[in-house]
A and B are shown apart, each in its own frame.
Chain A
Amino acid sequence: MQATGTAAPPVYRTQGLTRIYGQGDGAVQALRGIDLTLAEAEMVVLLGASGSGKSTLLNILGALDRPTSGRVFFRDRELSGASERALTAFRRDHVGFVFQFYNLIPALTARENVALVTEIAHRPMPPEEALDRVGLAHRMDHFPAQLSGGEQQRVAIARAIAKRPDVLLCDEPTGALDSQTGVKVLEALVAVNRDLGTATALITHNVGIQAIAHRVIVLADGRIVEDRRNATRIAPAQVTW
Chain B
Amino acid sequence: MSALNRKVIRDLRAIWAQALAIALVLACGGMVLVLAHSTERALSETRAAYYDRNRFADVFATATRAPQALLAEIAAIPGVAVAEGRVGFHLLLDLEGMVEPAVARVISLPLAGPPRLNVPILRAGRLPDPARPDEVALSEPFALVHGLLPGTRFVALLNGARRELQVVGHVLSPEFIYTIGPGSLMPDDRRYGLIWMGAEAAEAAAGRKGAFNEVSLRLSRGAREDAVIAALDGVLAPYGGTGAYGRDRQGSDQFLQGELDQLQAMGRILPPVFLIVSAFLVNMVIGRLVATERRQIGLLKAVGYSTAEVAGHYLRLAALIGAVGVVIGWAAGAWLGQAMTALYADFYRFPWLIYAPGPGAFVISGVLGMATALAGAWRAVRTSASLPPAVAMAPPLPPAYGAGRLDGLPRTLGAGQLALMVWRGITRFPGRAAVTVAGIAASVAVLIAAFSTYDAVRAVAAEVFGAANRQEVTLTLTDETRAAPALEAAQHLPGVLRAEGGYALQVRLSHGPRSRFVALEAHEPGDLMAHLLDSAGRPVALPPRGLVLPRGLAAALGARPGDRLRLQRLTPPYEEWDLPLSGVIRQSLGQSAHIDAETLHALLRQSPRVNRIDLRVDPARLPALHAEVKRSPVISGLTLWSDLRRQFDETLRENLLISSAIYSALGMLITLGVVYNAARIRLAERAHELATLRVLGFTRAEVGWVLLGETLALTALALPLGWAAGYGFAALMVAGFSTELISIPLVVSRQTYGFASLMVLGTALAAGVAVRRRLDRVDLVGALKQRE
The interface of chain A, by Cβ under 8 A from chain B, is 55, 58-59, 62, 64-65, 84-85, 88-89, 91-93, 95, 97, 99-101, 103, 105-108, 112-113, 115-117, 119-121, 159, 171
Contacts and interface: CB of A to CB of B under 8 A. Distances in A.
Contacts of A113: 3
A93 B304 contact: yes
A107 B395 contact: no
A117 B11 contact: no
B8 to A, nearest CB: 9
A120 B3 CA distance: 10
A117 B390 contact: no
B303 A107 contact: no
A108 B7 contact: yes
Nearest to A117: B303
29 contacts: A59-B390, A59-B393, A62-B302, A64-B301, A64-B302, A65-B390, A84-B307, A89-B304, A91-B302, A92-B303, A92-B305, A93-B304, A97-B302, A97-B392, A99-B299, A99-B393, A100-B393, A101-B295, A106-B296, A107-B11, A108-B3, A108-B7, A108-B10, A112-B6, A112-B7, A115-B2, A115-B3, A116-B3, A119-B2
A71 to B, nearest CB: 19
Contacts of B296: 103, 105-106
Contacts of A84: 307
B389 interface: yes
Shortest 7 CB-CB contacts between residues of A and residues of B: A92-B304, A107-B10, A116-B3, A115-B3, A91-B304, A103-B299, A112-B3
A62 B11 CA distance: 29
Contacts of A171: 393
B388 interface: yes
Nearest to A99: B393
Interface in B283-307: 295-296, 298-307
A65 B299 CA distance: 13
Interface string B371-407: 0000000000000000011101101100000000000
Given A108-B7, A112-B7, 9 more contacts: A58-B393, A91-B302, A99-B299, A101-B396, A103-B298, A105-B296, A112-B3, A116-B3, A121-B304
Contacts of B302: 62, 64, 91, 97, 103
A88 B3 contact: no
Contacts of A59: 390, 393
B393 A120 contact: no
**Interface size of B as a range:** 20 to 34
Contacts of B652: none
Nearest to B11: A107
B395 A120 contact: no
Given A85-B306, A88-B301, A116 B4 contact: yes
Most buried by B among A62, A95, A99, A159: A99
A97 B305 CA distance: 13
Interface in B198-249: none
B612 to A, nearest CB: 77
A65 B301 CA distance: 11
A116 B298 CA distance: 14
A91 B389 CA distance: 10
B620 interface: no
Interface in B545-579: none
A108 B389 CA distance: 20
A139 to B, nearest CB: 17
Nearest to A116: B3
A45 to B, nearest CB: 17
A88 B306 contact: yes
Contacts of B301: 64, 88, 91
B304 A64 contact: no
B303 A91 contact: yes
B305 A120 contact: yes
A239 B295 CA distance: 31
Contacts of B295: 101, 103
B413 interface: no
B306 A108 contact: no
B307 to A, nearest CB: 7
Given A64-B393, A99-B392, A116-B3, A105 B304 contact: no
B527 to A, nearest CB: 79
A166 to B, nearest CB: 13
A116 B301 CA distance: 12
